[in-house]
Amino acid sequence: MIIYLGHSCLSNPGGSGGWSFVVQNENKKLSIETPYEYGGSNSTTSNRMELTALYMALIHLQNTKADLCYIISNSRSCVNSFNTWIGLWADNDWTNHKGKKVENIDLLQHIFELKQHSNVKVEWNNVDESDFAAFADSLATKMSFEFKKDFYVPFGDIKTRDKIAVLPPNSRFTKTFIVIKKFKDTALVKPENGKGRNLLIEAADFPNYLLLG
């Protein structure tokens, strides 16, 4: 079994954030039957969202019969916490090398307990382009915005050169674009990641936009 983690925090620390995990099914194809969970907070940190995603994935594993599970994260901090640091912190009364209490002790203690009863390997991968990794990232990002409603702006307030995130109805993926040219009821946009073609979007098609900067 392979589980992909997603995390997001719009303004770290203290901004709204999201977490997610997506389970890769046996046929390795994303579908409506793909298991996943997600959530968020209106005031959090990137690290807490990373650890929450890991914790919830471990909880999910308690209800499966998988002999071995690989959990994939694009956060080195999350991976190192699970593989190396958490045991040292537990042995040192949850203090770091400076003698200070580690952050997110509540989550770390739960993760440490679950680790003792799970056959799990947590690995880092920051370049995985699978649909499952993209879905996990999209869910976490979407939850960040869901918990930060004042980021929503009407179409009429969007300007040329703005970066916007579009949440299409019934879509699993948040799409991020740069506005090339803004017209009265339409906007010509290009994908932020440079992949794909330019699009002409209409205000009536996507009523909710998220202004990113």
What confidence tens digit (pLDDT) does each residue in 135-169 have?
A: 999 899 888 877 876 556 677 888 888 887 765 55
Residues of the chain with confidence (pLDDT) below 50: none
Quick one: DSSP state of residue 84?
I
- Calpha distance 15→144 (Å, rounded): 9
Backbone φ, ψ for residue 135 (5° rounding): -65, -45
What pLDDT, on a 0 to 100 scale, did the predictor assign at position 113?
Answer: 96
CATH number of 150-211: 2.30.30.520
Report the percentage of the chain scoring pLDDT > 70.
88
Q: How many CB atoms lie within 10 A of CB 91?
A: 9
What letter represents residue 118's amino acid? S
Q: Which of 169, 168, 187, 167 is nearest to 178 (CA)?
A: 187
Could you give the residue range(s) of every CATH 2.30.30.520 domain in the chain? 150-211
Asked whether 104 and 51 are in contact (CB, 8 A), the reply is: yes
What pLDDT, on a 0 to 100 scale, did the predictor assign at position 173?
Answer: 57
What pLDDT, on a 0 to 100 scale, did the predictor assign at position 165?
Answer: 73
Going by C-beta distance under 8 Å and a sequence separation of 6 or more, which residues neighbour residue 64? 1
What string of DSSP letters covers 5-52? Answer: EEEEESSTTTS-EEEEEEEE-TT----TT--EEEEEESS--HHHHHHH
What pLDDT, on a 0 to 100 scale, did the predictor assign at position 207?
Answer: 56
Could you give the residue range(s) of every CATH 3.30.420.10 domain in the chain? 2-147
pTM for this prediction: 0.73
Question: Superfamily assignment of 2-147 in CATH?
Answer: Ribonuclease H-like superfamily/Ribonuclease H (3.30.420.10)
What pLDDT, on a 0 to 100 scale, did the predictor assign at position 84?
Answer: 95
- Calpha distance 109→96 (Å, rounded): 14
